[in-house]
């Protein structure tokens, strides 16, 4: 099966909004594969799944490992690996080598880089990656890897800052990015950047006038412990999981689990000896 490509996204622009979800493992990828155009293996894995306070400690190996799991769990959606802090931007050659690992080793089709207006990564580095054949998605507005410099705040509220974000997005397009994520900016700036660019924009807290939307899976299904204001929670998975493990613990303590249907008897033909119940486990 062919995966969604940068060309498909470009052609879709203006017809139908692009759906991107950040997710980190194979079962989530299986669920998302028919639904999302892009699965972003966000460095948000640091806060959501790895127990870090922010995204900065996420290592390249952790990110590659989660990206490979998502690639194994999907066959249709485009898989984009989100390069963690300092795995890019230190030197152009090292950045390009690291970016290539997402395609060579992890089975991704593209990488995303946080590309704030203050720098962090040079336009030359983005160009080098794209020349090498690594499709790059940019990311402007709120860039969580800059938390110690800027905090987690809406960006581009004043005119100067908004112009700088727009200018940065233009530079990135020039350097060859196939798409740009816009995070936590006023809706009017989302619209301005979208109008100015020839490549699709994907917003998170960037309003409605963009080419697509992205949310973190854990936030949208209600697994995260607290979510940003721009998130809509479509389910209460944390509640469902909490109730399930409480019920299990209660049944174990009260001797109700395991019951007859969950044990193996002595007789060979009394029970199917296939412990996976027919699943490939």
Binding of ligand KIV at residue 96 (CB under 6 A)?
no
The structure tokens listed for 96 are: 């390009």
108: phi then psi, degrees, rounded to nearest 5: -80, 165
Would you say how long the chain is, in residues? 281
Position among 4, 18, 21, 22 found at the interface with ligand KIV (CB under 6 A) = 22
Assess contact for 21 and 231: CB atoms under 8 A. Answer: no
DSSP 111-166: EE----TT-SS-HHHHHHHHHHT--EEEEEES-GGGHHHH-S-----SHHHHHHHH
Q: Could you give the string, one character per residue 25-64, with x where binding to ligand KIV holds by CB under 6 A and - elsewhere?
A: ---------------x-xxx--------------------
Position among 9, 64, 206, 216 found at the interface with ligand KIV (CB under 6 A) = 216
> Among residues 7, 34, 36, 12, which one has the least CA distance to residue 23?
36
Cβ proximity to ligand KIV: between 160 and 178 the closer is: 178
Q: What stretches of 200-262 adopt beta strand conformation (E)? A: 201-204, 212-216
**Is 183 assigned a catalytic role?**
yes
Cβ proximity to ligand KIV: between 40 and 69 the closer is: 40
- Considering only residues 105 to 124 of the shown chain, the ones binding ligand KIV according to CB under 6 A are none
> Which residue's C-beta sits nearest to ligand KIV?
42
The rounded distance, in Å, linking the Cα atoms of 84 and 68 is 15
Cβ proximity to ligand KIV: between 47 and 95 the closer is: 47
Give the CA count within 13 Å in the CB-facing half-sphere of 254.
Answer: 7
Name the minimum Å distance from CB 40 to ligand KIV: 6
Position among 29, 79, 177, 204 found at the interface with ligand KIV (CB under 6 A) = 204
Catalytic residue among 30, 183, 209, 261: 183
Binding of ligand KIV at residue 82 (CB under 6 A)?
yes
Please provide the distance, in angstroms rounded to a whole number, between the alpha carbons at the two ends of the chain: 24
- Considering only residues 140 to 179 of the shown chain, the ones binding ligand KIV according to CB under 6 A are none
Please tell me the count of residues contacting ligand KIV according to CB under 6 A: 11
Name the minimum Å distance from CB 214 to ligand KIV: 5
Cβ proximity to ligand KIV: between 115 and 125 the closer is: 115
Largest CA distance in the chain: 78
Cβ proximity to ligand KIV: between 234 and 257 the closer is: 234
> Among residues 111, 60, 101, 116, which one has the least CA distance to residue 84?
60
Position among 166, 214, 220, 221 found at the interface with ligand KIV (CB under 6 A) = 214
Position among 6, 36, 140, 181 found at the interface with ligand KIV (CB under 6 A) = 181
- How far, rounded to the nearest angstrom, does the alpha carbon of residue 187 sit from its chain's CA centroid? 21
**Which amino acids are annotated catalytic?**
183
By CB under 6 A, name the binding residues for ligand KIV.
22, 40, 42-44, 82, 181, 183, 204, 214, 216
């Amino acid at each position: 099966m062919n995966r969604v490509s940068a060309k498909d996204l470009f052609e879709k622009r203006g017809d139908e909004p692009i759906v991107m979800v950040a997710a980190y493992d194979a079962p989530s990828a299986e669920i998302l594969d028919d639904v999302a155009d892009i699965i972003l293996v966000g460095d948000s894995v640091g806060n959501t799944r790895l127990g870090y306070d922010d995204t900065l400690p996420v290592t390249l190996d952790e990110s590659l490992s989660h990206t490979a799991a998502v690639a194994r769990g999907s066959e249709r959606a485009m898989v984009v690996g989100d390069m963690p802090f300092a795995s890019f931007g230190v030197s152009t050659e090292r950045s390009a080598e690291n970016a290539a690992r997402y395609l060579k080793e992890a089975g991704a089709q593209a990488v995303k880089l946080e590309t704030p207006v203050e720098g962090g990564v040079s336009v030359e580095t983005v160009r080098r990656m794209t020349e090498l054949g690594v499709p790059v998605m940019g990311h402007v507005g709120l860039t969580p890897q800059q938390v110690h410099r800027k905090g987690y705040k809406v960006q581009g509220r004043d005119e100067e800052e908004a112009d700088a974000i727009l200018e940065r997005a233009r530079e990135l397009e020039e350097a060859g990015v196939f798409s740009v994520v816009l995070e936590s900016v006023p809706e009017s700036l989302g619209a301005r950047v979208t109008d100015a660019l020839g490549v699709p924009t994907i917003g998170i807290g960037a309003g409605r006038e963009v080419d697509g939307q992205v949310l973190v899976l854990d936030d949208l299904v209600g697994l995260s412990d607290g979510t940003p204001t721009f998130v809509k929670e479509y389910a209460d998975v944390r509640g469902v999981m909490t109730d399930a493990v409480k019920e299990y613990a209660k049944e174990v303590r009260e001797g109700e689990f395991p019951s007859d249907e969950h044990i193996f008897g002595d007789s060979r033909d009394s029970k199917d000896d296939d412990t996976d119940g027919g699943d490939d486990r």
